[in-house]
Amino acid sequence: MRNEMIVLVDYKTSDGRFEGLAMDMGNDLPLIGHQISVLEKMASEEREFYRAYVLSLHDKQPSDFYVPDNMFGKQACGLDGSAQLPMGKRWFTLVMRVEPGLFGEEE
């Protein structure tokens, strides 16, 4: 399997709820970082950027598998750390966790 990645983006709503997106942004980390920074800047008063996870997908359980500490991790991942995705059962390793402001302001 080629090195596939998934990006999970979490938002906090103005009423305190959390919403999230799961996206395929390719495998180019600098480009993924740029795309996440754009998503962060697009946040509004109703929905602010909370956190993003860049995860590498694996078709066999790695010894260092990662379960995200968000709703996706709680709802989609089983006891063995895997999630059933459209392409089949997959495990994750953490490539990068992005907090608000990590990429800073660009002039």
Per residue of the chain (107 residues), what is the pLDDT tens digit? 456 899 999 999 999 999 999 999 889 999 999 999 999 988 888 999 999 999 999 999 999 999 999 999 999 999 999 999 988 999 999 999 999 887 765 54
> At 68, which amino acid appears?
P
Domain assignment present for 34: yes
The model carries a pTM of 0.87
Domain annotation covers residue 75? yes
SS3 81: coil
- Number of domains observed in the structure of the chain: 1
Domain presence at residue 22: yes
- Whole-number pLDDT of residue 105: 58
Nearest 5°: phi and psi at 101?
Answer: 80, 0
**Phi then psi dihedrals of residue 85, to 5 deg:** -105, 170
Ramachandran assignment for 87, one of left (phi > 0), alpha (psi -120 to 50 degrees), beta (any other)? alpha
